[in-house]
Structure 1
Amino acid sequence: MRFSLCCISFVWLCCYGVQNVFAYKIPQIKLELIGDKFNVSIPDEAGIENVAFNINRNRPFKAFEQGEFSGRVSTPIDNRWIFESKRHLRDDDTIYIWTDVQFNKNRFRAMSTPIVVSETLTDINEVINDNKSTVTTETPPAIDPRTEKCEPALTKIRDRNVCRGELLFEENFNGNELNVTRWRYEVRLPLDNADAEFVLYDTNAEITNGLLKIEPHIWGNDSPDADIRRGSLNLGARCTAYQNPDIECRRQPFGRVVLPPILTARINTKHAFSFKYGRVEVRAKLPQGDWLYPLLLLEPHANLYGQQAYASGQMRIAFIRSNLQLQTQSGTEMGGRLLNGGAVLRPEAIYRNAFMVNTSRDAHFGETFHVYTLTWDDRRLSFEVDGQKYGSIDGGFAQHEVGQNYAWTSGNYMAPFDQEFYITLGVAAGGHGDFSDDYLSKPWANTSPKAALNFWRDRANWKSTWTSPALVVDYVRVFAI
């Protein structure tokens, strides 16, 4: 009996010890901005001996690997374990962190929830030093008073409750200037990736008589002395690059590298409005002209599944290849009479139609205004034009052989389309991803390092087709579902 009691006592002590060892749970990381620097921290707790932070900017961790910024902290300051970096963060950066904590001689590791810089809220009472500036966001606008019963919606907007059928966003482009509280220009060169378009995005949109007009122009208006192989381009402080400023903000022609042949515009609501699930309506007249295409997009706000190669997805509310006539080698018509809607999950041209639905008309979609609608819910994407549904795409992208991405298995059935997205409007030209090499009369090959130069050299053939090259938008509306 004495032996049994001793054993019972020993087991109880062991269990108690194990409980203490594994009771520690790494808390959520706190992010703070300090001028041109930032720090991350966790609160101190009795038993913590040191803490290591590994941090990636706009790139999720695949495992417990070394981060873009990393360091081990051996002493807490003001009851927090703090790691400081001298890197400046942009409002649209997403920060990924994993933490290693030595607690009572044991090691604990955990991935933190991704932190979107523009959404980070810090309690003023928790600020460590008076000279630290914390990141805040604007208070979401209140829901308009409603007399009818508010039915819960599938749609989510951060911390705001919405009602089914509620008009969440409406832009009618009144006035003479872009509403900067809703829209911002992208001023940048496209990244030099597998589908980079042949353009420079700048601030050349116009608003007149309640219409947004984005019209692309040939470099230097194709004056006799214009040459994309000479000169240099540096966007300076105006540049809105968010991945690689060396590529997106500057270009010096040499060899096969040329200046962008086309000047155009691209605007978005990333800083002001994003949502998860809903119905989007855009009334627009699409561009007409060879090798142009409209950008009526929903793009990921936080890029939680990664920033490269459409890892976090892109939704196309409406898309056409704006050529007046465009045929494949087999005679299939792919020009402006064929309307597409769908998802982009890979950069390569050969995969562009894998998640697209389409409908065709006798007339080019740039001849007149149409209402383009995307309904996005937790099971599928559905597409309409002028109130007529023409197709839908079911979720389950993580299991699809073309779109498969391991990171999506951590999301729901619609991953990567299970996060908040924002609205983008613009016009692009050329590129390596939206025009297959199977198209007749295409003056460049997608794999050619001279693609943009060859496109430019063929302008005598395509510029005469740019009779109505502008994207003209009447309104944009988003409704809760």
Structure 2
Amino acid sequence: MYLGVICIVSFLTSTLAHPGLLGLDLGDILSPLVGPVTNDGYPDRRTTQEPNIPKELSSPKPTTDRSCIPPKTKLTTNTFKYCKGDLVFSDDFEKPFNNHQSWDIEQYMPIEEGPDFEFVSYENDDRIVYKKNGRLIFNPTPRFNESEVFGELDLRNGCTSILPSECYFKRISTQLIPPVRSAKITNKFGFTYGKIEVKAKLPQGDWIYPQIQLVSDNKYAPFKILVAYSRGNNHYVKNRDEGSSLLFGGILWNTENSDSRMKLTESRPSLEPYGNKTHTYTVIWEPDSITLLFNGEEYGRILIDIDNDERFYPLKRTFRLSLGVGVGGIHDFPEGYISIPKKPWVNADRNQLKNFFDARTEWAKTWSMGRSIMEVDSVKIYAV
């Protein structure tokens, strides 16, 4: 027993005197999560030991590069040190989604505060959002029968809105329950700046669109950041066709004026609808710019002057990644466009939901054969 104690003491004494025996240098600090770190608190890239970090908040294996560039990215869940270029979040949807720890599943009706007042109820229902073949599926489902829209809808058990009217609805006068059941999820942690990659197959069908976007933690922020946006209509024409063969990304303002709303977006035309195949959509959000990429190729860059333009102040704060499918609403399909069939509602009309519901036999047939489903393969967020 005494001999064992003497050996241990001797080993520790030798190690402290010669830290190189453990691959350390004098001054290195041991971190329980990422191994040795340098004096500035960032990971030491000399180690080849894999960090012991949960998959939802993981970095790639450290390289042999001795340098670590401190990132601009800030996380609200900062449980580990990371450097510029590190993967700070990933999800390939291998785990059962109903017990997922990385996402909040929204449940409410956007009928009170909007801002877009889409014609859906977002519901935590495994028939609407679920995992299949390693992908996360969003399956918007119409309410076809009058009994489904003329009665009441109770979403109070698990409602994610603080407004009672968005959790429980009972028909009064000409008002209807939203004619479509859909789904939307939001990342549990917020972040400021980052490179966001979403690999997905976008939904198609009349009056439907993907909600792959960054949303501010400040609900009064005047805009959101589009990672991927493309209307599902085959054709939606004004000066150009802005239907399913045109991709948008960038800053989308919460305003009814369509020209102002899209002023700080970039677009990319295609010879075929974006929903035909799975693609990778990327936003690189930095303090002075937002860069947009499609399958790794840049198609737009938006310059930002945060210090001299108060409209951009929310970009100094945290945003979260949100994934979902929207339908209709008062902003996403402005007036004055040509479509076949004709748009069945007017944005300023108080009977917009009823008119949309009455045209269900027209728009619902364009959703057939699974075209209206959005499939998400993976999500990755890197530090910048």
TM-score (structure 2 length as normaliser)? 0.77
Match of residue 176, structure 2, among 258, 270, 273: 258
1:285 aligns with 2:201: yes
* Alpha-carbon separation, structure 2, partners of 1:454 and 1:359: 32
- How far did 1:182 drift? 0.3
With over 3 angstroms needed to count, the CA separation of the structure-2 counterparts of 1:146 and 1:397, relative to structure 1, is closer
Aligned position for 1:33: none
Question: C-alpha displacement at 1:274, in angstroms?
Answer: 1.9
1:239-282 CA-partner distances (Å, limit 9, x unpaired): 1113x22x210111122311000001001113xx2211110000
Matched to 1:366, the amino acid is: G
Q: Which residue of 2 aligns with 1:345?
A: 253
Q: Is the 8 A contact 2:57 2:90 kept in 1?
A: no
Secondary structure of the structure 2 residue equivalent to 1:463: helix
Q: How far is 1:292 from its partner?
A: 0.2
C-alpha distance in 2, partners of 1:256/1:199? 17
Match of 2:345 in 1: 444
How many Å separate the matches in 2 of 1:478 and 1:421? 12
2:234 match: 324
How much has 1:384 moved relative to structure 2?
0.7
Q: Against the structure 1 CA distance between its residues 386 and 200, is the aligned structure 2 distance closer, same or farther, given a 3 Å change threshold?
A: same
User: Percent same amino acid among aligned pairs?
Assistant: 31
Q: Which amino acid aligns with 2:374?
A: L
Distance (Å, rounded) in 1 between the aligned partners of 2:210 and 2:59? 32
| Contact residue 156 and residue 162 of structure 1 kept, 8 A | no
Correspondent of 2:325 among 427, 437, 441: 427
How big is the shift at 1:399?
6.3
- 2:22 corresponds in structure 1 to none
Matches of 2:307 and 2:344, distance apart in 1: 35
Taking the aligned partners of 2:275 and 2:289, their CA distance within structure 1 comes to: 27
Q: 2:117 maps to what in 1?
A: 196
Equivalences for residues 361-400 of structure 1 within 5 A: 361-396=270-305
1:412-459 CA deviation, whole Å, 9 max, x = no partner?
Answer: xx5221111111111010000111011221111111111111111111
Change (3 A) 1:162 1:218: same
**What's the TM-score, normalizing by structure 1?**
0.62
Describe the shift of the 1:349–1:161 C-alpha distance in structure 2 as closer, same or farther (beyond 3 A). farther
Which of 300, 312, 315 matches 2:225?
315
Q: How far is 1:398 from its partner? A: 8.2
Question: What letter corresponds to residue 305 of structure 2 in structure 1?
Answer: G
Give the CA deviation at 1:141: 5.9
1:397 Cα deviation after fit: 6.7
Distance of 2:89 and 2:372 partners within structure 1: 27
Other-structure match for 1:16: none
Secondary structure of 1:416's aligned partner? helix
1:346 corresponds to which letter in structure 2? N
Alpha-carbon separation, structure 1, partners of 2:265 and 2:337: 18
In 1, distance between residues paired with 2:299 and 2:58? 35
1:227 shift after superposition: 4.8
Q: 1:145 to 1:321 in 2, by over 3 A?
A: closer
Determine the structure 1 residue equivalent to 2:377.
Answer: 474
* Shift in Å, 1:142: 7.8
| SS of residue paired to 2:274 | coil
Q: Which one-letter code corresponds to 1:316 in the other structure?
A: L
Quick check: 2:102–2:187 contact (8 Å CA) kept in 1? Answer: yes
What amino acid sits opposite 1:266 in the alignment? K
- CA shift, 1:143, in A, is 6.0
Partner residue of 1:154 out of 56, 65, 72: 72
Q: Which whole-Å CA distance do the structure 1 matches of 2:299 and 2:132 have between them? A: 32
Q: Which amino acid aligns with 2:352?
A: A
8 Å CA contact 1:395–1:415 kept in 2: the answer is no
Change (3 A) 1:352 1:397: farther
Displacement, 1:155? 1.2
What is the rounded CA distance, in whole Å, between the counterparts of 1:293 and 1:277 in structure 2?
25
Instruction: Tell me if structure 1 keeps the 8 A contact 2:201–2:375.
Output: yes
Give secondary structure in 1 for the equivalent of 2:74.
coil
The match for 1:417 is 315
CA root-mean-square deviation: 2.2
Q: Counterparts of 1:472 and 1:385 in 2: how far apart (Å)?
A: 17
Which runs of 5 or more residues in structure 2 are unaligned?
1-53
**Distance between the aligned counterparts of 1:367 and 1:143, measured in 2?**
32
Report the AA paired with residue 75 of structure 2.
Answer: I
- CA 1:397/1:466 → structure 2, altered by over 3 Å: closer, same or farther? farther
Contact 2:105/2:184 (<8 A) preserved: yes
Query: Secondary structure in 2 aligned to 1:238?
Result: coil
| Higher CA-based Rg | 1
Q: Is contact 2:281-2:293 (8 Å) kept?
A: yes
- 8 A Cα contact 1:175 1:208, kept in partner: no
Structure 2 letter corresponding to 1:314? K
The within-5 A match list for 1:29-68 is none
Whose relative contact order is higher, 1 or 2, with alpha carbons under 8 Å and at least 6 apart?
Answer: 2
Aligned amino acid, residue 218 of structure 1: P
2:121 alignment partner AA: L
The counterpart of 2:211, out of the listed 295, 308, 333, is: 295
Gaps in structure 1 of 5+ consecutive residues: 1-137, 401-407
Can you list the C-alpha shifts for 1:345-379, whole angstroms capped at 9, x where unaligned?
32314232111110100100000001000000000
- SS of alignment partner, residue 157 of structure 2: helix
SS state at 1:469 partner: coil
> Could you say what secondary structure the match of 1:393 adopts?
strand
Q: Which residue of 2 aligns with 1:268?
A: 186
Distance 2:195 2:277 in 1: 22
Aligned to 1:465: 366
CA spacing shift, 1:146–1:240, aligned 2, 3 Å: same
Give the aligned length. 316
CA contact (8 A) 2:194 2:284 kept: yes
Whether the aligned pair in 2 keeps the contact of 1:166 and 1:479 (CA below 8 Å) is yes
Q: Pick one of 98, 111, 131 that aligns with 1:207.
A: 131
